[in-house]
């Protein structure tokens, strides 16, 4: 009995010391498996105008007003603009860092000047910076069905 108590105590201590990743889920319930690799993502983008994919990246900016969009750097260093399906969910306001897993519709899209200015305003850019936006931009975009946020950091508190 004494050996069993020692073994149970050792196991409890071992598991109690494990660092638990803090994950938050937004939108549709998605899992962290079957994520496309960088190579798979590139071939999917090259072969399709629109594709439903699960990918991961690092958030570097988001809407400080509502949390209704975020900008993500993918593994290959490219940028991705992420909006949320049917405006049905948001991420925390002012999300400025954190690894995310996203599932949804990916495509290349020409973003009009007025929309680019709107995003710049939501991100808190100055009027001078916003005035410099004069041309539409071709960007990789996603309309996400669901997002998993791992250890994100926000600049806005409620």
- What predicted TM-score, i.e. pTM, was given to this entire model? 0.77
Mean pLDDT of 114-133: 92
pLDDT on residue 115: 93
Please tell me the predicted confidence (pLDDT) of residue 57.
95
pLDDT of residue 19: 46
Instruction: State the residue range of the domain holding 30.
Output: 21-154
How many domains, in total, are found in the chain?
A: 1
Segment 68-94 shows an average pLDDT of 92
Residue with more model confidence, 41 or 84: 84
2 pLDDT exceeds 70? no
Distance CA 151, CA 97 (A): 8
Question: What are the b/e assignments for 116-137, b being 16+ CB within 10 Å?
Answer: bbbbbbbbebeeeeeeebeeee
Q: Would you say residue 69 lies in a domain?
A: yes
Q: What is the DSSP letter of 76?
A: T
pLDDT of residue 3: 62
Q: Does residue 5 belong to any structural domain of this protein?
A: no
Please tell me which residue, 45 or 73, carries the higher pLDDT value: 73
- Over its C-alpha atoms, the chain yields an Rg (Å, rounded) of 20
Q: What is the CATH number of the domain that holds 118?
A: 2.40.50
């Amino acid at each position: 009995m004494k050996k069993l108590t020692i073994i149970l105590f050792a196991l409890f201590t071992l598991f109690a010391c494990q660092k638990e990743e803090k994950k938050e889920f937004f939108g549709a319930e998605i899992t962290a498996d079957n994520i496309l690799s960088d190579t798979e993502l590139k071939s999917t983008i090259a072969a399709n105008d629109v594709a439903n994919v699960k990918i991961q990246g690092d958030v570097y900016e988001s809407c400080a007003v509502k949390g209704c969009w975020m900008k993500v750097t993918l593994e290959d260093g490219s940028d991705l603009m992420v909006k949320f399906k049917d405006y049905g969910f948001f991420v925390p306001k002012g999300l400025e860092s954190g690894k995310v897993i996203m599932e949804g519709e990916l495509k290349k899209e020409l973003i009009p000047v007025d929309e680019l200015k709107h995003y710049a305003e939501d991100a808190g850019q100055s009027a001078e910076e916003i005035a410099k936006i004069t041309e539409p931009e071709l960007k990789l975009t996603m309309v996400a069905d669901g997002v998993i946020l791992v250890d994100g950091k926000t600049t806005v508190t409620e």
